């Protein structure tokens, strides 16, 4: 599913303290692409991700997802939009602490009419033998795998990953990025990764660089490097 962003503006605060965090962002991500959104803190990348995710609304501009435009959606439609099209992966996993690994994945499977087979997904994620454990019994990498499984189980057209390796060590980060790569190849989802890590851009089909609320660089990689070969 193609994602088009048209002249997106977002303001925070009022009066003299009013700050424009997105200043006319314009870009397009094609279906099945891995898009890496790079930028320093305060550049507006998380705000952009939230608006794409239908969690925040833009003050001006719109986002077209397939034939739909998010700016005309009400709360109910946005909920349905998230439910039908999006998957989220957070930096700190945000698993429901009192649910097991399998149950955490079921949380999103419940929302889909045609969820992926959970056991098969658990095997793909390397979590099958941990499926009855609570999140607190898992390592950080395993928790992030679970979070990715939770996001994937409803086979979303767009997977939004907010600093997915930000809390992980080097080796585990590479494992998670490899998993995202595998997922992209297997399920053909559009994947948007927000990150500080400059090295991750090499595994993306498209790279967007954001600074001070504007896109300062938008290009496609001619050669996509495998996640396992990334170095930083």
Site for other proteins, rule CB under 8 A: 46, 49-50, 53, 55-56, 76, 79-84, 86, 88, 90-92, 94, 96-100, 103, 106-111, 132-134, 136-137, 150, 162-163, 166-167
Taken in order 173, 199, 37, 45, the sign of the CA dihedral is positive
Starting at the edge strand found earlier in the chain, the sheet holding 60-65 runs 19-29, 3-12, 60-65, 68-69
Minimum gap (Å) between residue 207 Cβ and other proteins:
22
Nearer to other proteins, 88 or 205 (CB): 88
Whichever of 15 and 97 has its CB closer to other proteins, that residue is: 97
Q: Cβ 94 to other proteins, closest distance in Å?
A: 5
Question: Minimum CB separation from other proteins for residue 212, in Å?
Answer: 20
**Residue whose CB is less far from other proteins, 151 or 181:** 151
Minimum CB–partner distance for residue 140 and other proteins (Å)? 11
- Minimum distance, C-beta of residue 74 to other proteins, in the bound complex (Å): 12
CB of 82 or CB of 205, closer to other proteins: 82
For residue 57, the minimal CB distance to other proteins (Å) is 11
Minimum CB distance to other proteins smaller for 125 or for 181: 125
Spatial separation of the C-alpha atoms in residues 55 and 58, rounded to whole Å = 10
Closer residue to other proteins (CB): 78 or 199:
78
């Amino acid at each position: 599913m193609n994602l088009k962003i048209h002249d997106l503006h977002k303001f925070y605060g009022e009066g003299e303290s009013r700050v424009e965090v997105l200043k006319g962002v314009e870009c397009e991500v094609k279906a099945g692409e891995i898009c890496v959104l790079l930028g320093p803190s305060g550049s507006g990348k998380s705000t952009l991700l939230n608006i794409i995710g239908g969690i925040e609304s833009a003050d001006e501009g719109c986002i077209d997802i397939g034939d739909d435009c998010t700016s005309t959606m009400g709360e109910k439609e946005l909920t349905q939009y998230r439910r039908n099209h999006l998957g989220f992966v957070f930096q700190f996993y945000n698993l429901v602490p009192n649910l097991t690994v399998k149950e955490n994945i079921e949380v999103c499977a419940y929302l889909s009419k045609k969820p992926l087979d959970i056991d098969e997904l658990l095997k793909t994620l390397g979590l099958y033998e941990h499926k009855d454990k609570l999140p607190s019994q898992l390592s950080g990498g395993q928790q992030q795998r679970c979070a990715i499984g939770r996001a994937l189980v409803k086979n979303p057209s767009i997977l939004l990953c907010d600093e997915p390796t930000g809390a992980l060590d080097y080796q585990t980060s590479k494992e998670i990025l490899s998993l995202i790569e595998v997922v992209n190849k297997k399920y053909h989802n559009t994947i948007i990764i927000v990150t500080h890590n400059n090295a991750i851009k090499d595994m993306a089909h498209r790279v967007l660089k954001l600074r001070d609320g504007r896109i300062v660089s938008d290009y496609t990689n001619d050669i996509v490097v495998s996640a396992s070969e990334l170095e930083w």
